[in-house]
Amino acid sequence: MIKAQKTIYTNLILLGVSLFGVYPLIPHKFESISVFLLALCSLIYRILTPKKIIFKKTFFIVSSIYFILFLSVLFSEDTARGLKKMETTLSLLAFPIIFYLLLGKSFVDLNRIKLFFLKSYYVSCLIFTSFSFYLFEIYENSKYVTKDSNFYRIAIFDNKLIGEHPIYVSIFISIAIIFGFSFFDKEKKISFKNSSIVFAQCYLITLLLMLMSKGVILSLLMVFIIKLIKQKSFTKIHFFSLALILTTFFILIPSENNRFKEILDLNSYKKLDKNNSTSIRFITYKCGLKSLLNSPIFGYGIGDVQEKMDLCYQDENANFSKKMYNTHNQYLFIWLSSGIIGFVIFIGILFYYFKKSIEFKDEVMFSILVLYSFTFLFENVLSRQSGVIFFCFIINYFLWINFNKNKTLLSYE
């Protein structure tokens, strides 16, 4: 009887997680369905098992940033826009409710759920990559005669089926690459399985390099650099060898597809070039910091941040379309929205996640946190539905899995 119940409960959670396993393949306008399905399955699970431990402390810690941002709406002049932003970022509250209050300490087959998610997500990214390569062959756009990174990025963004921003595609692919390294046999022996994984990893990395999302690529490199540094056998020779490999890697990237050259081009910082992403980011960072210095303690309220940025763009003669370019830095956006208190709370939440990933010795969770933490320096990941939904799911999912695996769970959790 107990075994049968466990199977039923496990299948219920598997159903809830299933759409996140194929998240990269879900069209942008249907992504919220994955949240509703998981929430529904979690609610049913909660009703069926009412007498179980919930993680109250964790819920209040990780959801606190949503409440702080919501309070910032109250001192926003543009309340309507502020409330719209809160609707977009609702996942910051929804997933803590799902994992820590509804699911809590769960009587399910954790290994089966985790393996299902990791494998289905990885396969879906491989399918997505194959579809992207096909799309690159049939896509036509008179603005892009040469098939370079801009061509590939627009091809994905313009497609009605995918319709996803290339930066978020790059994040999804990077997470799959992190998963891929966890699939290797621990013995590190030559086998068909390991050979297949190597091929699959190269397949994913090819798409990542074609899209050339600089911030995400640099963030993924930081993941592996930190992993190497954490190794006890890491020496100065390893460090210089790594530096040489990375330098060679960037040099060998075809010039027509190498957006990293923008960073080294001094013209990127002298005058705005709307075809140069580095030049655009230089202006956005300049305006973000300029706005921050004018109100470093309280910020402006989440509804007014974009207006302040747009006004600064006018002063800088950037001539951007209104609401087109945000801060391109998640930390800066949080600070501008909710002041220094919101910024400190956000950093504290990330620190909490890192602390738990180290405590539970979860290398995959740790690597994903490193990826996002560095990507936040270059993108407002949590300002778009695609970014905030998957970030909130995957980070809280891994933490929930670890809480349930920990047999000596502390009472205050």
User: Where residue 171 falls among pLDDT bands split at 50, 70, 90?
Assistant: very high
Q: What is the pLDDT of residue 161?
A: 80
Q: Which two tokens stand for residue 89?
A: 């970022």
* Model confidence at 413: pLDDT above 50: no
| Residues 273-316 pLDDT 10s | 777 788 888 899 999 999 999 999 999 999 999 999 999 998 88
Of 318, 44, 80, 396, nearest to 404 by C-alpha is 396
- Cα 130 from chain centroid? 22
Q: Are 112 and 6 in contact (CB under 8 A)?
A: no
Residue type, 368: I
Angle (nearest 5°) at CA 216 between 215 and 221: 100
- Cα 338 versus chain centre, distance: 21
Instruction: Give the pLDDT band of residue 408 (cuts 50, 70, 90).
Output: very low
Q: What does pLDDT average to over the chain?
A: 88
| Concatenated DSSP letters of 151-199 | HHHHHHHH-TTT---HHHHHHHHHHHHHHHHHTS-TT----HHHHHHHH
pLDDT tens sequence across 216-275: 999 999 998 888 888 766 666 656 666 666 666 666 566 666 667 777 777 778 788 777
Three-state SS at 286: helix
Task: Write down the pLDDT at residue 3.
Answer: 80
